[in-house]
Every structure is written in C-alpha cells, then in structure tokens.
Structure 1
C-alpha cells in the first residue's frame, strides 16, 4: 500500500522544539559528497512492523511530525566506542522508505525510526553500504534478526522501551533474547488435564 507520504497527502510536519529538517526538493539519488559511492533512498522492501514486547497494537496519541534532526547518544564499553545516531518520525500510516527530507547520513549505522500512531508499531531502517548497490537505507527486521552494526561487529541494534534505537553489545542482546524466550515459554506453559487424569501440570522452561 502506498503511504500518504508518497501520494502527496498529509506530509509530515516538524514538532516545536524537535528541530525538524528543512525540506529539500533536490534528488536524493546520485553521488554523495564523500566521493563516487552512489547514494539512494530506494529500499528493496518495506520493513516489517515491530511492536514492543508485551504491547499489542494500539492507537498512540501524538501529532504527525518528522523527520527530526539527527539525534545522537554516545556508547563506550570495552573496545567498543562510538555513538548511536538516528532520525525519528511518526504518523498514522506506515512508510515505504524514510521521508525524502531526511539528510543523507554521514556515517554508517545511522538509524531511521518511524512509528505508526494508529497501531503503535515501528518501522526501522539502517544506513548501510551494500556491495554492488552503494549506500542506502536498509529495512531491518527486529523481530527475527540480530541486526549488526556495519562497522562495530561487537554491537547489535535494539529499540529501547521508549522507542529510541541503541547499538548494544552482542552479549547484552543475547541476554535480552534469552529472557524473552523464557518468558514466551513460561506464558505458553498452560496446565493440561482430561477429566480426573492430569496429563501434565506444567512444562519446564529449562535454564
């Protein structure tokens, strides 16, 4: 389905204090200022929706706005030092790709997060350099993939409970997945019985 952002309806606006980007109608495809690497906002497919664990699809209050100016958060741990950089937008519809007003990122691993306020779901893209295709916004699946940082192999992408992206250590990501799996197994461990002959009282989740 083509989003209103692409059909010319309800273009997202910038919220006060967010410092939204000034619209630029120049083409986004071509050669970047960094050299001859081709740059494109075209993506191979719309990213799947991501919902916070334990939160069903629900309408979220909030205005349509974005993309925001680049936001950053530093990280430093062991030999892994850098920053998480991202743009954010929200609207009552999904996007096919990051909004064209978004500035071309200056570093790999920049994240674009869009939230659909109609159902509370998120869509996420990461700025990658794909061999043979150049620099582009790559849609990612946070539900089923461990999304690696393109330059720092020790880190993977996660959305915090507030919807902000964070490049966390792989060891931390593994801990999160293990806890999530245990919770899922625990929730599915429902006692089963037939008449007076119980088949199973519970299902062990292991450790």
Structure 2
C-alpha cells in the first residue's frame, strides 16, 4: 500500500512536470521500479532520483526515463535499439510501448541481472546483447527508434548508430562530456541527412567503446 501510494505521487509529479504522453505514463505505472534496484533502496524506488546499481552505474531518475521515452515518440509499430541496458528499467518501459526492443550493455554482469529481471516480469519482446554499444547492432538494422542512455562526447553522434537509423527515424542521445555541459539531443534521419533538436540539460555517465568478452542473448518471442 505504501509503495503504491509512492508510485501515484511520482506519476503526479511527472504529469505536473510536462509528461503528457499517456502511453509513457501508463508504461511507467505498470513497470515495478523496485524490481530493478538493490533491496536496500526499495524504500526509495518511487522517489525521483537516480540510484546505484553496481559497477559505477545508476538507474536513471524516473523523470529522465519519462522525458527521454516521451521524446522518442515510440509506437507499437516500431523496432527500437537501446544502448546501455543498465538495470533493465528503461528497457522494460520501452518494451511496453514498442513492437520489439534490442538492447546492448557493455557490462555483461549487469546485463545478466537485467535479463533475469525482464524474464521474471515476462517481458517477451526484448533481445539483449553484451557488446560495444557505439557499434550498434547492424545485423538487426534498420531501427525506427534508437535511445542512448550514456553521454557521447563527440560533436556528432556515433556514425554507426545514425547509419542504422531508418529514414524518418529518431535517435535520442545525451551529448557532451565532463568539460562541456551535456544535453539530450534528438536527431531525425532525413533522406538528405540529419535534423538536430537540442532538448534539455542532463547528466549521464559517458558512452564508452569496447566490452568484456562474451555475450548474453535473451530470446525474443516471434
């Protein structure tokens, strides 16, 4: 009962702060955030804050998840690529909205735990891979939507990701590094290039290349 009251309070906060997409709000309402965080932080599951999940990583605050998901404009017709599985929480929210989700995490240990959580919740439309997110997932391209949950320090988004974006598709990615202020940027791929739209300031861990050896795949339903 206490947890449910906290969730309702969080949803009201999201609405007051500009999250108007009822599908996004519904997805956040239906995904139990406490499943994706260590038990010691369960009492803070529905506070609007980032929480540690191990290996120097965090689960993003619900407001960031909601805003980035809303900016992605996902529908149930879309094939989506997520870079940075982390706890699996953002993946679970996206899976409620899209046709199929492909998610990549460079830390295999984190990915294994995230996959277990998604399987426990019977999320069936996700395929997960331990790998270098900066390279995307060319075997499954093109994607109608791509979401990156780590900050890219370059002036342009990773070319591998924009190459894998369908024409008319959207890429939502934090841009900037420790020296430059980070901003969430939305790119739309057009026939003749990319349209860029700067959205809001944010703070994410950096998007890093390379990965540990080995892969973990979560089989998606047909």
Q: TM-score, normalised by structure 1?
A: 0.26
Q: Which has a greater percent of strand?
A: 1
Q: Which has a greater percent of helix?
A: 2
Which has more radius of gyration? 1
